[in-house]
Amino acid sequence: MKIAVIGGGPGGYVAAIKASMMGADVTLIEKRKVGGTCLNVGCIPTKALLACSEMLMNVRESKSYGINIDGTIDANFESMMNRKDKIVDQLVKGIEFLFDKKGVKLVNGFGKLISKNEIEVSKEDGSKEVIKADKIILATGSVPIVPPMFPYDGEKVITSDEALNLKELPKSMLIVGGGVIGCEFGQFFRTLGTEVSIVEMNDQVLPFEDKDVAKQLQRSFKKDKIKLLTGKKIQKCNIEGEKIVANLDNGKSVEADIMLVSVGRKPYLENLGIEDLGIEVERGKIVVDEKMQTNVEGIFAIGDIVNSPFLAHVASKEGMVAVQNALGKDKKIDYTAIPRCVYTEPEVAGVGLTEKQLQEKGIQYKIGKFEFRGLGKAQAIGKFQGFIKILADNEDKVVGASIVGPHATDLLTELTLAVHLGLTVEQVGDVIHPHPTLSEGLMEALHDVHGECVHSVTKAKADA
């Protein structure tokens, strides 16, 4: 069985390796570097930079840990960028190494469908090659959205792509959009000394999360002296000399050296040839069934180009499901328990339904909550802002959870498993958690659902 994959991001390259492991003859077509947005201009480089700013914050706070550092503490922006590039290059080579060992053929160039079994690849040298395959998986990813009202030039008005390749640290930055990308970049640049303003049209950052979750992050932003303008819209935007000036709907204006537009991403489907083959598209996304197959037999689509969350781990899972179905298996994907992660300080993580969604659906629910400041480990490491929140339905099943605080993204896995398997609060809460750890907070929050949290007085008072 010959399988061809267009796109080498976290969906495409995982699909290719999985297919090869299952015995298929696999070719992956990628116009740039393997790893896609996630590895080259997304998840990995931003986390590499955030690790640098976190280290800087730790050094600045060293005195509170009994460590005195004499002299000037400088942030070397160029060195941080070089470190980020080195990490990305190493991981790209790692994927290419896996391709070589797993038997995946990599073809560099732009792939276009010319039939349901053929892909025309246009290469940098002008030559073309036709790849034939029994099954094809589309995984072309997404690109940043830049509304026409913004004078995007890649220099004064930029997207996350350009932000990751800046040569100099800007003195001031206006970020449009308080979602994951805006929050992460905002905190990174602010820690290094950039004056940061974030404009968000909704009444909170991270609009998808519950208000109590966003409030914790907004408190941290206030402490960092990030200027947060929620519930505001930009009506007009111009480049005036060396500054970018944005006029808001409240009559005020904000100016900065650079504007970072982070209002979302859109599927990349240009010149892919899907129209000629009659592949169904709805609202800019390819329509697939629960097996990730399009309406054209033998052609599958995964990742940011289909109607699912724009997340690397979702694309990877979809890739494995698509491959297994392409090779005759019967696999379906379950979107019930998709982890959501924000790598700010404090970190924000969530899975399953939010309170907002439960209320909209009219589902009755119970809450269990525990603050990190109640944990010995959190006090010991000096990281105790935030909380863990468990949401359970009337059958006691864990249907959602939110964590704001230290290592939230790592702690989320246990609750993701609970939501995925439909476990009850009692089942997960009965698990012995090691002491002293941050994971004890999960147990405490689970116990709090039934008012049985030993280290909390909130519900005990209510029940008395």
CATH number where 294 lies: 3.50.50.60
Residue 106: pLDDT over 60: yes
* Cα 432 from Cα 447, distance rounded (Å): 12
Q: How far apart are CA 391 and CA 448, in angstroms?
A: 11
Find where tokens 């209002």 sit: 263
Question: Any idea what the CATH number is for the domain that residue 409 is in?
Answer: 3.30.390.30
**Residue 373 placed within a domain:** yes
Q: Does 455 qualify as catalytic in the annotation?
A: no
Distance CA 460, CA 396 (A): 19
**pLDDT attached to residue 267:** 97
Count: domains in the chain? 3
Mean pLDDT of 50-61: 96
pLDDT above 90 (res 123): yes
Output phi, psi for 390, to 5 deg.
-110, 135
**What is the H or E stretch that residue 222 is in?**
helix 211-223
pLDDT confidence tier of residue 456, bands split at 50, 70 and 90: confident
pLDDT for the residue numbered 459: 57
Asked if the model's pLDDT at residue 458 lies above 90, the reply is no
Residue 256 lies in a domain: yes
Among residues 412, 416, 413, which one has the least CA distance to residue 399? 416
Residue 71 has a pLDDT of: 85
Q: Are strands 128-132 and 118-122 parallel, antiparallel or unpaired?
A: antiparallel
Outline where 63-108 has alpha helix (H).
77-102
> Using 50, 70 and 90 to split pLDDT, how confident is the model at 457?
confident
Same structural domain, 162 and 274: no
pLDDT value of position 361: 96
| Cβ atoms within 10 Å, residue 45 | 22
Domain that holds residue 205: 157-263
Based on the fold, state whether residues 62 and 106 are members of the same structural domain.
yes
Q: Are residues 190 and 273 in the same domain?
A: no
Question: Catalytic one among 407, 433, 435, 447?
Answer: 435
Q: Is the pLDDT of residue 460 over 70?
A: no
Is residue 67 over pLDDT 60? yes
| Same domain, residue pair 220 and 131 | no
Q: Looking at the structure, tell me whether residues 182 and 98 fall in a common domain.
A: no
Closest CA to 322 of 343, 340, 308, 336: 308
140 and 17 within one domain: yes
Same domain, 180 and 280: no
Ranges 181-190, 235-244, 405-414, 451-460: which has the least confidence? 451-460
- Among the candidates 213, 248, 263, a domain finishes at 263
105 domain residue, yes or no? yes
DSSP bridge partners of 237? 246
Average pLDDT over residues 48-63: 95
The pLDDT mean for the chain works out to 96
Residue 427 backbone phi and psi in degrees, to 5 = -60, -50
pLDDT at 462 over 70: no
Q: Is the distance from CB of 449 to CB of 392 less than 8 angstroms? A: yes
H/E stretch holding 221:
helix 211-223
DSSP reduced 3-state for 58: helix
| Calpha distance 349→42 (Å, rounded) | 18
Q: What tokens does 229 get?
A: 């303008």
Domain boundary among 286, 301, 326: 326
Residues 147-156, mean pLDDT to the nearest whole number: 94
Number of Cβ within 10 Å of residue 227's Cβ equals: 17
Q: What average pLDDT does this structure show over 107-132?
A: 95
Residue 231 falls in which region: left (phi positive, over 0), alpha (psi -120 to 50) or beta:
left
Q: Is residue 34 part of a domain?
A: yes
Q: Please state, in angstroms and rounded to a whole number, the distance separating the CA atoms of residues 125 and 80.
A: 34
d(CA 208, CA 237): 26
| pLDDT over 90 percentage in the chain | 96
Q: Is the pLDDT of residue 410 over 80?
A: yes
Among residues 297, 326, 355, which one ends one of the domains? 326
Are residue 212 and residue 270 in the same domain, yes or no?
no
Q: Which residues of 85-103 are buried (b: 16+ CB within 10 A; e: fewer)?
A: eebbeebbeebbebbeeee
Residue 288 lies in a domain: yes
Residues 137 and 282 in one domain: yes
Both 308 and 378 in a single domain? no
Question: In Å, what is the CA distance from 6 to each residue of 11, 13, 223, 286, 290?
Answer: 10, 9, 45, 14, 20
301 and 413 within one domain:
no
Question: Domain check: are 164 and 134 in the same one?
Answer: no
Which of 455, 386, 141 lies closest to 446 in space, CA to CA? 455
Residue 454 forms part of a structural domain = yes
- Residue 152, domain member (yes or no): no
Domain contains 332: no
447 within 8 A of 454, measured Cβ to Cβ: yes
User: pLDDT tens-digit profile of 302-321?
Assistant: 999 999 999 999 999 999 99
Residue 238 reports pLDDT greater than 60: yes
Q: Is the pLDDT of residue 6 over 70?
A: yes
Against a cut of 0.75, is the pTM above it? Answer: yes
